[in-house]
Amino acid sequence: MQTRKLGNSGLEISALGLGCMGMTSVYGTPPPRGDMISLIRTAVDRGVTLFDTAEAYGPFASEELVGEALAPLRDKVAIATKFGFDIDLETGQRSGGLNSRPDHIKAVAEASLKRLRTDRIDLFYQHGVDPNVPIEDVAGTIKELVDGGKVRHFGMSEAAAQTIRRAHAVHPVTAVQSEYSLWYRGPETEILPTLEELGIGFVPFSPLGAGFLTGKMDENTRFDSSDFRAAVPRFAPEALKANVALVDLLRKVAELKGATPAQIALAWLLAQKPWIVPIPGTTKLHRLEENLGAVAIDLSREELDDIDQAASQITLKGARLPQAVLDMTGR
């Protein structure tokens, strides 16, 4: 497995990480816990060293799973988790709002450390920017946790460029996590140039478009009510019918490269910047191995230009998240 450094931080990890959200929530009924523990440990065997979770996934269930799976392998990996939602740390009840008050951040860190069965969090992200708490106060709180040895690196998720700058001025931001793929290219306008200027790494979530870029969906695909995609406009039947043109593009390139659409989608991301580390999630071993195969695919400058040119002719339909989620998080 190739490795990459997240910006100027010195945090060196595998070129692809593993997103663990879907192992316990969001995509319908979770798979058996033992199977997911085995999958996480197999990922380590395959060279994966970045594992992404959050207190909000479950809540708590994902951190507990990751903690159990990685406890025997702790010194071989980097664990990323997140704070920022208003979740009762005893009951797991969510208010539906955000909470990045300094005292709450510290309490979340302690609770996450216990669930993760570790003495330090390698990368601690603010899950969503809290408009009621100055970002300088958030960064200052993380600095205290870093100074205390409980957190190694500070991350931000779905933050605007100016907010990243303000936080970085108080305590260095190691990585920013936002959605990014051929399916959603919003970060290219302001976020990526800002990160390059400041020496901050980028960790795209949903690098396969929540499964769409694998090529396994079409207008007839339906989602269970417990699957978050059932409420996402971009996964509505009429949107899927229009958006399949993007998968057709990936499939054409994949045929030329002896690869799969998912591998081309990930290889495209990896080719954008040397400090980008995507975190595709999966619950299946064959998908894990398929994703990891993307690291070995080299797309030439000409091939990348051809993909960009063809993609620019495709108009994707439907918002990437429900409007209520976009409104709550300010995305």
Does residue 327 fall inside a structural domain? Answer: no
Confidence band, pLDDT 50/70/90 cuts, at residue 28: confident
Per the CB < 8 A criterion, the answer to whether 57 and 63 are in contact is yes
What are phi and psi for residue 183, nearest 5 degrees? -80, -30
12-21, 173-182, 222-231, 320-329: the lowest-pLDDT one: 320-329
The answer to whether residue 138 scores a pLDDT higher than 70 is yes
The answer to whether residue 327 scores a pLDDT higher than 80 is no
The predicted pLDDT at position 287 comes to 98
Please give the residue that has the higher pLDDT: either 322 or 152: 152
Number of structural domains found in the chain: 1
Among 27, 57, 125, 184, the one annotated catalytic: 57
Nearest residue to 72 (alpha-carbon basis) of 50, 110, 40, 31:
40
pTM: 0.96
The answer to whether residue 211 scores a pLDDT higher than 60 is yes
The predicted pLDDT at position 123 comes to 98
Residue numbers of the domain that contains 280: 3-209+273-296
Confidence band, pLDDT 50/70/90 cuts, at residue 331: low
What is the 8-class DSSP label of residue 229? G
Q: How far apart are CA 232 and CA 265, in angstroms?
A: 21
Per the CB < 8 A criterion, the answer to whether 155 and 125 are in contact is yes
What pLDDT digit, counting tens, does each position of 277-324 carry? 999 999 999 999 999 999 999 999 999 999 999 999 999 999 998 877
What are phi and psi for residue 55, nearest 5 degrees? -60, -30
The predicted pLDDT at position 210 comes to 94
Average pLDDT over residues 198-215: 97
The predicted pLDDT at position 86 comes to 97
Does residue 248 fall inside a structural domain? Answer: no
Q: How far apart are CA 71 and CA 13, in angstroms?
A: 18
Nearest residue to 206 (alpha-carbon basis) of 182, 225, 224:
182
- Whether the bond between 261 and the residue before it is cis, its omega within 30 degrees of 0, is no
The token pair that represents 171 in the structure block: 């305590």
Does residue 19 fall inside a structural domain? Answer: yes
Does residue 90 fall inside a structural domain? Answer: yes
Q: How far apart are CA 51 and CA 81, in angstroms?
A: 9
Average pLDDT over residues 205-227: 93
Does residue 304 fall inside a structural domain? Answer: no
Q: Residue 64 maps to which CATH number?
A: 3.20.20.100
DSSP for 310-325 reads HHHT----S-SS-HHH
Q: How far apart are CA 111 and CA 244, in angstroms?
A: 42
Dihedral sign for Cα atoms in the order 139, 145, 146, 148 = positive
Dihedral sign for Cα atoms in the order 131, 134, 139, 145 = negative
Does residue 229 fall inside a structural domain? Answer: no
**Mean pLDDT taken over the chain:** 96
Please give the residue that has the higher pLDDT: either 325 or 47: 47
Q: How far apart are CA 24 and CA 36, in angstroms?
A: 9
DSSP run (H or E) holding 151 = strand 151-157
What pLDDT digit, counting tens, does each position of 42-60 carry? 999 999 999 999 999 999 9
Does residue 302 fall inside a structural domain? Answer: no
Does residue 133 fall inside a structural domain? Answer: yes
The token pair that represents 49 in the structure block: 């060293």
The predicted pLDDT at position 79 comes to 98
Per the annotation, the verdict on 57 as an active-site residue is yes
Per the CB < 8 A criterion, the answer to whether 105 and 143 are in contact is no
- pLDDT more than 70, % of the chain: 98
